[in-house]
Structure 1
C-alpha cells in the first residue's frame, strides 16, 4: 500500500443500467428471479459499489496488490429502471491495517438508491492465489 492511501480518499462512478443488469437476469436459472420486476438488481448494485471503491483505490496500491470485498452493509431504498444512470460515491473513512472501510451512497435522477458501508481488504495477489489453490485442492479431495 502506498503512503497516499489514507482516509478521505474519494471515488465516483456513473453507471447506466442496461436491461441485463435487472433482477430477472441475476440468476437466469431461477424462476423466482425471472418473475421479478425489471429494475436494477441488488446483487448488481453491490457490484457497482465494489467497482467504485476499487477504482478509487487503484492508484494507491503497490504492484501485485489488489483489494477484495470483505463486508457489505447497504440499503437498497428505491428501484432504478433500465436506461437510468446510477451515480455512486465512495469515501474511504478509515483504515484498520489492510482493511479499508468506505461510506457509500448511490443516487439516480429520482433520488437516493442506496447508502451504507463497504469494507475491502488489501491482498497480495500471488499469496491469495496460492491459498485459493489449496482450498480448491481440499474441495476436490472431498468430492
Structure 2
C-alpha cells in the first residue's frame, strides 16, 4: 500500500436502481424472493457499498494489490424503488496494517437508506490466487 493510504480519504457513488437490482432478482432460483416487493435488495445494497469503498482506494494501493470485503455492519432503513437515485458516501476511517475500515452513509431523495461500517483487507492478488488454487485442487 502507498503512504497516501490514510484515514480521511472519501468517495461518493450515485446509482440509479434498475429493476434487476431489486429483491425479486436477488436469487432467481428463490420463489420466496420473487414474491417480495421490487425495491433495492439489501444484498445488492451491500455490493454498492463495497463498490464505493473500493473507489476510495483508487491510486492508493501498490501494483498487485487489491482488497476483499471481510466484514459488513450496515443498516437498511428505507426502501429505494426502481428508478430511485441512491447516493453512497464512504470514508476511510481506520487503517490497521492491512485491514481498512470505512464509515458509510447512503441516502435517496426521501430518506437515509443505509449507514454503518465496512472492513476490507488488502491482499497480494497473485499470492491470494495461488493459495485459492491449492484450496480448490484438494
TM-score range relative to shorter protein: over 0.9
* SS in structure 2 at match of 1:39: coil
Runs of 4+ in 1 over 4 A off after TM superposition: none
Q: For residue 53 of structure 2, what is the aligned residue in structure 1?
A: 53
How many angstroms apart in 1 are the aligned matches of 2:35 and 2:133?
Answer: 37
- 1:134 CA drift (Å): 1.2
Query: Is the helix fraction higher in 1 or 2?
Result: 1
How many angstroms apart in 1 are the aligned matches of 2:35 and 2:64?
Answer: 42
Matched, 1:38 2:38: yes
Q: For residue 121 of structure 2, what is the aligned residue in structure 1?
A: 121
How many angstroms apart in 2 are the aligned matches of 1:59 and 1:73?
Answer: 26
Q: For residue 70 of structure 2, what is the aligned residue in structure 1?
A: 70
TM-score w.r.t. length of structure 1: 0.95
TM-score w.r.t. length of structure 2: 0.99
Deviations 1:33-78 (A, max 9, x none): 0001000000000000000000110210010100000000000000
How many angstroms apart in 1 are the aligned matches of 2:66 and 2:113?
Answer: 28
Matched, 1:82 2:82: yes
Q: For residue 107 of structure 1, what is the aligned residue in structure 2?
A: 107
Which runs of 5 or more structure 1 residues have no equivalent in the other structure? Answer: 139-143
How many angstroms apart in 2 are the aligned matches of 1:34 and 1:134?
Answer: 37
**Number of aligned residue pairs:** 138
How many angstroms apart in 2 are the aligned matches of 1:31 and 1:19?
Answer: 17
- 1:135 CA drift (Å): 1.3
- 1:137 CA drift (Å): 1.3
Which runs of 5 or more structure 2 residues have no equivalent in the other structure? Answer: none
Aligned-residue CA RMSD (Å): 0.5
